[in-house]
Amino acid sequence: MSDRVTTVRDLIRTADRRWAEQYHRCSSVPPGDPGYARAQETIATYRKLADLDKEAASAADVEAIIGNNSWSSCTCSECGKAVPAVRECGQPREYDSSTADICRACLAKALAEIDAALADPGRNA
Ligand SMILES: [Zn+2]
Protein backbone atom coordinates (compact mmCIF):
# COMPACT_ATOMS: atom_id res chain seq x y z
CA MET A 1 0.00 0.00 0.00
CA SER A 2 1.39 3.34 -1.04
CA ASP A 3 1.38 6.13 1.49
CA ARG A 4 1.17 8.50 -1.48
CA VAL A 5 -2.37 7.32 -2.26
CA THR A 6 -5.16 9.05 -0.35
CA THR A 7 -8.77 7.88 -0.25
CA VAL A 8 -11.79 9.72 1.06
CA ARG A 9 -11.92 7.15 3.91
CA ASP A 10 -8.31 8.00 4.76
CA LEU A 11 -9.34 11.66 5.06
CA ILE A 12 -12.33 10.79 7.26
CA ARG A 13 -10.16 8.60 9.51
CA THR A 14 -7.47 11.26 9.92
CA ALA A 15 -9.54 14.46 10.01
CA ASP A 16 -9.34 14.79 13.81
CA ARG A 17 -5.58 14.20 13.92
CA ARG A 18 -4.93 16.60 11.03
CA TRP A 19 -7.22 19.21 12.64
CA ALA A 20 -5.32 18.91 15.93
CA GLU A 21 -1.99 19.30 14.12
CA GLN A 22 -3.20 22.37 12.25
CA TYR A 23 -4.77 24.07 15.26
CA HIS A 24 -2.61 22.79 18.12
CA ARG A 25 -1.95 26.33 19.36
CA CYS A 26 -5.64 26.80 20.25
CA SER A 27 -5.28 24.86 23.50
CA SER A 28 -2.79 27.42 24.80
CA VAL A 29 -4.98 30.51 24.18
CA PRO A 30 -5.83 31.81 27.67
CA PRO A 31 -9.23 33.11 28.80
CA GLY A 32 -9.31 36.86 28.25
CA ASP A 33 -7.28 36.62 25.05
CA PRO A 34 -9.14 38.17 22.07
CA GLY A 35 -8.86 34.82 20.27
CA TYR A 36 -10.14 32.71 23.18
CA ALA A 37 -13.72 32.23 21.92
CA ARG A 38 -12.52 31.23 18.45
CA ALA A 39 -9.97 28.86 19.97
CA GLN A 40 -12.70 27.21 22.03
CA GLU A 41 -14.80 26.75 18.88
CA THR A 42 -11.83 25.15 17.17
CA ILE A 43 -11.30 22.80 20.11
CA ALA A 44 -15.02 21.92 20.06
CA THR A 45 -14.70 21.11 16.37
CA TYR A 46 -11.81 18.79 17.18
CA ARG A 47 -13.87 16.99 19.81
CA LYS A 48 -16.72 16.46 17.32
CA LEU A 49 -14.26 15.06 14.77
CA ALA A 50 -12.66 12.83 17.40
CA ASP A 51 -16.08 11.49 18.44
CA LEU A 52 -17.03 10.47 14.90
CA ASP A 53 -17.29 6.76 14.14
CA LYS A 54 -14.57 6.92 11.51
CA GLU A 55 -15.60 3.68 9.81
CA ALA A 56 -19.28 4.66 9.51
CA ALA A 57 -19.01 8.42 9.04
CA SER A 58 -19.34 9.91 5.58
CA ALA A 59 -17.44 12.77 4.02
CA ALA A 60 -20.64 14.79 4.46
CA ASP A 61 -20.48 14.15 8.23
CA VAL A 62 -16.99 15.68 8.37
CA GLU A 63 -18.13 18.53 6.15
CA ALA A 64 -21.10 19.23 8.45
CA ILE A 65 -18.77 19.55 11.46
CA ILE A 66 -16.14 21.72 9.77
CA GLY A 67 -18.39 23.73 7.48
CA ASN A 68 -16.65 22.95 4.20
CA ASN A 69 -15.52 19.88 2.27
CA SER A 70 -11.80 20.62 2.10
CA TRP A 71 -10.99 18.16 4.92
CA SER A 72 -12.89 15.21 3.51
CA SER A 73 -12.69 15.31 -0.26
CA CYS A 74 -10.07 14.17 -2.74
CA THR A 75 -9.79 16.56 -5.67
CA CYS A 76 -7.74 15.75 -8.75
CA SER A 77 -5.18 18.41 -9.66
CA GLU A 78 -5.49 17.45 -13.34
CA CYS A 79 -9.27 17.30 -13.99
CA GLY A 80 -10.48 19.17 -10.93
CA LYS A 81 -13.10 16.56 -10.07
CA ALA A 82 -13.90 15.23 -6.61
CA VAL A 83 -12.85 11.57 -6.78
CA PRO A 84 -12.70 8.57 -4.40
CA ALA A 85 -8.89 8.51 -4.36
CA VAL A 86 -5.85 10.37 -5.64
CA ARG A 87 -2.16 9.57 -6.02
CA GLU A 88 0.28 12.27 -4.93
CA CYS A 89 2.75 12.92 -7.76
CA GLY A 90 5.83 15.07 -8.00
CA GLN A 91 7.73 16.29 -5.00
CA PRO A 92 6.64 14.92 -1.62
CA ARG A 93 4.13 17.37 -0.17
CA GLU A 94 5.51 20.10 2.01
CA TYR A 95 5.21 23.86 2.12
CA ASP A 96 5.77 25.28 -1.38
CA SER A 97 6.48 21.85 -2.93
CA SER A 98 5.59 21.08 -6.54
CA THR A 99 3.02 18.38 -5.80
CA ALA A 100 -0.10 17.26 -7.65
CA ASP A 101 -2.87 14.86 -6.62
CA ILE A 102 -3.96 12.85 -9.66
CA CYS A 103 -7.01 10.59 -10.02
CA ARG A 104 -7.09 7.12 -11.54
CA ALA A 105 -8.72 8.27 -14.80
CA CYS A 106 -6.14 10.98 -15.36
CA LEU A 107 -3.26 8.61 -14.56
CA ALA A 108 -4.69 6.07 -17.05
CA LYS A 109 -5.03 8.81 -19.67
CA ALA A 110 -1.43 9.89 -19.05
CA LEU A 111 -0.16 6.32 -19.44
CA ALA A 112 -2.11 5.92 -22.70
CA GLU A 113 -0.60 9.16 -23.98
CA ILE A 114 2.92 7.97 -23.14
CA ASP A 115 2.24 4.57 -24.75
CA ALA A 116 0.89 6.28 -27.89
CA ALA A 117 3.93 8.55 -28.10
CA LEU A 118 6.31 5.61 -27.69
CA ALA A 119 4.39 3.62 -30.34
CA ASP A 120 4.54 6.52 -32.80
CA PRO A 121 7.60 5.98 -35.06
CA GLY A 122 7.65 9.70 -35.78
CA ARG A 123 8.17 10.47 -32.12
CA ASN A 124 10.25 7.50 -31.10
CA ALA A 125 12.64 6.75 -33.94
ZN1 LIG B 1 -8.41 13.56 -12.70
pLDDT digits (tens, 9 = 90+) for 45-80: 999 999 999 999 999 999 999 999 999 999 999 999
The count of domains in the chain is 1
CA–centroid distance, residue 113 to ligand 1 (Å): 14
Rounded to 5°, the CA angle 51-88-54 comes to 15
Residue 97 within any structural domain of the chain:
yes
The range of the structural domain enclosing residue 95 comes to: 5-119
Q: What digits encode the pLDDT tens for the residues 76-115?
A: 999 999 999 999 999 998 999 999 999 999 999 999 999 9
CA–centroid distance, residue 29 to ligand 1 (Å): 41
More confidently predicted of 124 and 65: 65
Q: What is the pLDDT of residue 105?
A: 98
CA–centroid distance, residue 24 to ligand 1 (Å): 33
Residue 27 within any structural domain of the chain:
yes
Q: What is the largest CA-CA distance in the chain?
A: 72
Q: What is the pLDDT of residue 1?
A: 64
Per residue, the 3-state secondary structure of 3-53, as one string, reads CCEEEHHHHHHHHHHHHHHHCHHHHHCCCCCCCHHHHHHHHHHHHHHHHCC
